[in-house]
Amino acid sequence: MAKPAKRDLMSDAPYGEYGRTATMIATPEGVILPFINASFGERLGALMIDFLIMAAIPIVVLIVWVILPLEHFSDDHKAASSILQVVSLAAWFFARSGYFMFFEMGPKAATPGKRALKLRVVAHDGGRLTPAAVFTRNALREVELYIPLGVILQTSAGMGNSWVSLAALLWALALVLLPLFNKQHARLGDFLAGTRVIHIPKASLSYDLADLDGDAHLGLTFTPDQLAYGEMELQVLEQVLRERKPAVMRAVADKIKARINWQAPKNSADMPSDEAFLRAYYGALRAWLEGKMLMGKRRKDKHDAALT
């Protein structure tokens, strides 16, 4: 995946979340959609939840075994007890090898742990997520985690070579930390299967902040010279206005007023509140920038040349 060229500010802060990277995936319709990469912490968290669930399977089996009076049962019902054993063995086998594959091949393409953290698996090339890819990415867990862990446990139990164990530890550590060293936070299995784990946040359509009519009634107008900011600042301002924290709005309003040399009205009763001022400024700045955008002129941030 080539590093996304700086198309516009949206791709630097996918879904409005700064500090996260996105994987650009071309859909079959030819639209390039940015998907937020799951962060290392999210992936680790999902794995922990899944491990807890997997650990619960044998524990439940054990509890059932202890609670039910099975000492005599196995003598009385040979066939039934054998079926029970088969079921418990199959449960254990499922827990180790099949759990991830079963859930990721399903329609949600995510294990319960991933689902809890709003993660899901997608194919990197934009096509369907195939069962083969899911199999591959999960089979690689053996090499990444299970086998090295097995070796280490064996050594700590007194068997095996401590050098081998050290090598296994380093190997597992390197592979577990691999997602930290690539932009898309993919692990080895993802590379081999051509999959990525993405984060899909829930977003809601809020109201539109620009209210030109209301602003006009307030009588707040700005000259193009006063609209001395770019798209980046506009979006920060939008965030400030949506969060509506009085202290922040005061600080931002003061800063803008100082920068644009704003003349406060003489009559203190006409003095707009910070929020009203910021909203008016937001509306004016957005109208100005969008108008220029339609002509193909953009100003990324305040350090860019002013639009004329």
Of 48 and 146, the one with the shorter C-beta distance to other proteins is: 146
Is 8 a binding residue for other proteins by CB under 8 A? The answer is yes
Is 252 a binding residue for other proteins by CB under 8 A? The answer is no
Is 265 a binding residue for other proteins by CB under 8 A? The answer is no
Residue 3 beta carbon to other proteins: minimum distance, rounded to whole angstroms: 14
Considering only residues 64 to 103 of the shown chain, the ones binding other proteins according to CB under 8 A are 78-79, 82, 85-86, 89-90, 92-93, 97
Q: Taking contact as CB under 8 A, which single stretch among the options 62-70, 118-126, 253-261, 264-272 is the one that binds other proteins?
A: 118-126
Is 117 a binding residue for other proteins by CB under 8 A? The answer is no
Residue linked to tokens 């759990």:
99
Considering only residues 211 to 250 of the shown chain, the ones binding other proteins according to CB under 8 A are 212-213, 215-216, 220-222, 224, 227, 231, 234-235, 238-239, 242
Is 193 a binding residue for other proteins by CB under 8 A? The answer is yes
From the list 129, 152, 168, 252, which residue makes contact with other proteins (rule: CB under 8 A)? Answer: 129
From the list 172, 178, 210, 278, which residue makes contact with other proteins (rule: CB under 8 A)? Answer: 210
Nearest to 134 by CA among 177, 96, 102: 102
Helices 246-260 and 231-243: angle between axes, nearest 10 degrees: 150
What's the CA gap between 259 and 285, in Å, rounded? 14
Q: Taking contact as CB under 8 A, which single stretch among the options 151-159, 162-170, 259-267, 286-294 is the one that binds other proteins?
A: 286-294
Q: How many CB atoms lie within 10 A of CB 209?
A: 14
Considering only residues 134 to 163 of the shown chain, the ones binding other proteins according to CB under 8 A are 134-137, 139-140, 142-143, 147
From the list 120, 185, 187, 196, which residue makes contact with other proteins (rule: CB under 8 A)? Answer: 120
From the list 113, 148, 179, 283, which residue makes contact with other proteins (rule: CB under 8 A)? Answer: 283
Considering only residues 47 to 66 of the shown chain, the ones binding other proteins according to CB under 8 A are none
Residue 269: burial class (beta carbons within 10 Å; 0-12, 13-18, 19+): exposed
Of 50 and 231, the one with the shorter C-beta distance to other proteins is: 231
Is 10 a binding residue for other proteins by CB under 8 A? The answer is yes
Residue 268 beta carbon to other proteins: minimum distance, rounded to whole angstroms: 23
| Ramachandran area for residue 138 (φ above 0: left; ψ -120 to 50: alpha; else beta) | alpha
Nearest to 116 by CA among 32, 179, 200: 200
Is 41 a binding residue for other proteins by CB under 8 A? The answer is no
What's the CA gap between 103 and 138, in Å, rounded? 11
- Report the amino acid identity of residue 7: R
- Alpha-carbon distances of 123 from 23, 35, 75, rounded to whole Å: 11, 11, 52
Helix (H) / strand (E) containing 22 = strand 22-26
What's the CA gap between 268 and 130, in Å, rounded? 67
- Cα 240 to chain centroid, rounded: 22
Burial call 155-175: b when 16+ CB within 10 Å, e when fewer? beeeebeeeebeebeebbeeb
From the list 154, 160, 169, 191, which residue makes contact with other proteins (rule: CB under 8 A)? Answer: 191
Of 210 and 249, the one with the shorter C-beta distance to other proteins is: 210
From the list 38, 47, 119, 133, which residue makes contact with other proteins (rule: CB under 8 A)? Answer: 133
Binding-site residue total for other proteins (CB under 8 A)? 90
